Chains A and B, each alone.
Chain A
Amino acid sequence: MGLVLLVVIWLITFISGYFFIAKTWWLPAGASVAAAGIDHHFSTTYILMGAVFVAAQVILGYFAWKYRDRGSASPQAQYTHGNNTLEITWTVLTLILFVGLNFMSSSIWASERFRPAAPGAVQVEVTGMQFAWYFRYPGPDGKFGATKPELQDASAGGEGAVGLDTTDPASKDDFVTGTMYVPLNREVEVILRAEDVIHSFFVPAMRFKQDAVPGLAIHMHFTPITIGDYEIACSQLCGLGHYKMHGILKVVSQEEYDKWLAAREAEKQ
């Protein structure tokens, strides 16, 4: 039985470990400035915790086999209540490992989250509602107009869906789309809002996730570095349509973005 346990535990460890090492299913390719740093730290954590995982399971399986009771062939168990030096040693080492990992990641966290968006960032207001995403751009005046919940009317298109208050002069040039366009290599400031329940804006390739909370306007930023279409998924349970609340983030060249922007703004005149 000891041998069976060793084999089973080791097999489970090595099989699951294989898929982890082979990266058969892995993080999607990173497409933002932050991705490289995050992925690097992910790998560091991965390697260290992976080593601990394998070591612990291998030792467990090995001990289960080695110290099995073989009747008279086995010596009496070693009567010991423990070893204080060992306790202190492994406590300190574990503490260093865990807190060390944490401090390493904190500098990345700080650079992502402790500073607001740079001036000149492309501003997009992202509004989540059951079960769609809407993207509002401020237009040439660079200001977002007022919205009123009472005015919300999804059947009246994007502007209606977010409840745009047309009496506000700043609203005149705002436009709302169902697809999010951003230019390459420029910081994007995302202002997250929600109309009904909590949603969450997640773009795996950008390593970007943030809950959209009703009653708050949450400012976040990221910088895309690869042209392409990226799926946006809702990552906070929001009701029966949660699984199909998705959108598309299109990262395009600056020229293409300018063309698209000009076309949208022209429609508003």
Chain B
Amino acid sequence: MATGEFAAHGAHAHAAPTSWIRRYVFSLDHKVIGMQYYFLALTAVFVGMMLSLLMRIHLIWPAASLPLLGEIKPETYLSLLTMHGTIMVFFVLTTAPQGGFGNYFLPIQIGAPDMAFPVLNMLSFWVTALAFFVMIAAFFVVGGAPLHGWTGYPPLSALQSAGPGEGLGADLWIISIALFCIGALMSALNFITTTLDMRAKGMTMMRMPLTCWAWFITAILGLLAFGVLLSAGILLLLDRNAGTSFFVPLVTINGQLAGHKGGSPLLWQHLFWFFGHPEVYIAILPAMGLCSQLLSVFSRKPIFGYKAMVYAMLSIGLLGFMVWGHHMFMSGMSPYTAFAFSVMTMAIGVPSAIKTFNWLGTIWRGRLRFTSPMLFALGFVSLFVSGGISGPFLAQPVLDIQLHDTYFVVGHFHLIMGVASIFGIFAATYYWFPKMFGRMMNESLARWHFFISFIGTYAIFMPMHYLGMAGHLRRYSQLTELNYLHGLVPLQTFMTYAAFVTIAGQFIFLFNLFWSMKFGKKASDNPWEATTLEWTTATPPPHDNFGGHMPVVHNGPYEYSVPGQPRDFVMQTDPALAKAH
């Protein structure tokens, strides 16, 4: 007898809940928890987007007085910037792709009835939600939100009098991040155990969809990285409140001795970036896995080089822990160490390039269907290339001298994280909406959303490279003081107008999302004619995902256009290919 099937009955001992609280609030069902994460991220991205809108307005109209907020002071700009970065990186990019879609679809795609530890799953969401509330609270306390950037370098972040917002606001910021770390560690535990131990019969690791590989590797990265951020946060909290000097040397602030000595600001940077670099791969890997999935489905072709894709993601994960120093080339770190980090950083460009070649190889000689998920997947490839190309500039310390802390960096990480990864979230939404809600999203609205977003984000972020090369520094709340910035203001103005249009375009998506839940065209169980396990089950999936009949897997996940088969796709559960393979 298959232990997998027994696992189904044993682990899924809890029956479907009936009370509203057990069904929607403290649900143990990974599908509900996935949706909770998704809507948390949706709230967060809306907040983050509004913060960036205020930032863009202030940059070109620094004296403008806005309704409700009045004039934006320089320190307020820095708080907006700090919170924008923190909220987007943690509560959007680390939440929606993994906690949202990963939670919902990992168990289904591997043929499991739920995550390994449903109670832990429920707790991980509520800890993350609590973290978000604590983060938002920072806006409303005395002094407001911190101004030290999402990177929080001490001594600026360690000294309560170093600036407005560095009091209680900064403490709440740290506590929120610490809570987020705990939630992320719990979630990583679940993802890893589930992937290793709960795959259905016939679902070997090498038959898993690349989305599952991505979620699995992302979880490993999170497991190893978030503990380091948690530690750093605790040390910073102690420096701020208990008089320790982990990060603060002998300094004065506002003309007075700060009361610390002997600490090292660089220690924070090492700890932070040891987490911070894997974090950016956590933000992009799920989107990469999904892109592979969607290009295959909508080209009606197997993914080009499945094994290479797996090894590439594994290499990115492993190398991702060896490159953190490239954020610190100018920090005062030893130049020999910098050289070592730069070699590793150039090396990590290789697996990313391999993935791009394989994506192109997937659509080569395919039969492309331009559905909304496909548009965003193709857009992802373009944006990933654009964002990735600026990497090798920054990876070389000699060029980083000029480009570090300029808009060149801001353009780089926004194109890759702020757009490509977000496109992954959009693509996932359009793709899996029919399975989650039983209806299709509106395709016309989706196309408008795609083109406005694609063109708009290029218009916002491509010019940042020009600004950076010209020496325009980042985190400047006003462009009025340095002479050489004056000639760059027209470009900033252009970017702000592009942002207006792009942000407006996102409301099309928001409307489409909610409208389609009630009024979208009804969807069949497999509207995209895809092969993976979620498309074999009912819509929306029942409580144990497969209605008591756990799937048995016979094929890999990308059997499209197999010669001699009646249709251009063969489900993973279809035994028809068993003789051929």
Asked if the two chains touch in their complex, CB atoms less than 8 Å apart, one says yes
Q: A residues bordering B, Cβ < 8 Å?
A: 1-2, 5, 8-9, 12, 16, 19-20, 24-28, 38, 41-42, 45-46, 49-50, 52-53, 56-57, 59-60, 63-64, 67-69, 74-83, 86-87, 90-91, 94-95, 98-99, 101-102, 105-106, 108-110, 112-114, 130, 149-150, 152-154, 163, 194-198, 200, 202, 204, 207-211, 213-216, 218, 231, 233-244, 246
- 20 more A-B residue pairs beyond the given contacts A63-B360, A197-B156, A210-B330, with a C-beta to C-beta distance below 8 A: A25-B491, A26-B466, A26-B470, A41-B398, A69-B367, A78-B364, A78-B561, A109-B339, A113-B397, A130-B253, A130-B254, A152-B255, A194-B251, A208-B401, A209-B405, A211-B332, A213-B265, A213-B331, A239-B75, A246-B482
A247 to chain B, nearest CB (A): 11
B476 touches A243 (CB 8 A): yes
In the complex, whether B473 has a CB less than 8 A from a CB of chain A is yes
Q: Which residues of B contact A83 (CB under 8 A)?
A: 304-305, 361
A69 touches B368 (CB 8 A): yes
Tell me the nearest residue of chain B to A69, going by C-beta.
B367
A27→B470 CA distance, assembly (Å)? 5
Q: Which residues of B contact A94 (CB under 8 A)?
A: 349-350, 353-354
Q: B residues bordering A, Cβ < 8 Å?
A: 73-75, 78, 147-149, 153-156, 159, 162-164, 248-255, 257-258, 262-266, 299-308, 330-332, 335-336, 338-339, 342-343, 346-347, 349-350, 353-354, 356-358, 360-361, 363-370, 375, 378, 381-382, 385-386, 389-390, 392-393, 395-399, 401-402, 404-406, 451, 454-455, 458, 462, 465-467, 469-471, 473, 475-479, 481-484, 488, 491, 558, 560-563, 568
Q: Which residues of B contact A46 (CB under 8 A)?
A: 393
A175 to chain B, nearest CB (A): 21
Of A12, A113, A195, A233, which one neighbours B473 at CB under 8 angstroms? A233
A156 to chain B, nearest CB (A): 11
B336 touches A114 (CB 8 A): yes
A178→B239 CA distance, assembly (Å)? 33
A231 touches B484 (CB 8 A): yes
B332 touches A213 (CB 8 A): yes
Q: Which residues of A contact B455 (CB under 8 A)?
A: 8, 12
Please judge, given known A-B contacts A98-B349, A204-B402, A246-B482, whether A105 and B396 are in contact too, CB under 8 Å: yes
Of B251, B263, B299, B386, which one neighbours A196 at CB under 8 angstroms? B251
B389 touches A52 (CB 8 A): yes
Please judge, given known A-B contacts A8-B451, A79-B301, A210-B332, whether A90 and B353 are in contact too, CB under 8 Å: yes
B194 to chain A, nearest CB (A): 27
A4 to chain B, nearest CB (A): 8
Tell me the nearest residue of chain B to A23, going by C-beta.
B469
Tell me the nearest residue of chain B to A212, going by C-beta.
B332
Of A5, A25, A106, which one neighbours B470 at CB under 8 angstroms? A25
A214→B260 CA distance, assembly (Å)? 11
Of B264, B335, B477, B484, which one neighbours A113 at CB under 8 angstroms? B335
A161 to chain B, nearest CB (A): 10
B407 to chain A, nearest CB (A): 10
Tell me the nearest residue of chain B to A208, going by C-beta.
B401
A209→B398 CA distance, assembly (Å)? 10
Q: Which residues of B contact A52 (CB under 8 A)?
A: 389
Please judge, given known A-B contacts A24-B466, A94-B349, whether A209 and B401 are in contact too, CB under 8 Å: yes
Please judge, given known A-B contacts A41-B399, A60-B360, A237-B475, whether A197 and B308 are in contact too, CB under 8 Å: no
Q: Which residues of A contact B304 (CB under 8 A)?
A: 80-83
Q: Which residues of B contact A26 (CB under 8 A)?
A: 466, 469-470
B288 to chain A, nearest CB (A): 15
Q: Which residues of B contact A95 (CB under 8 A)?
A: 347, 350
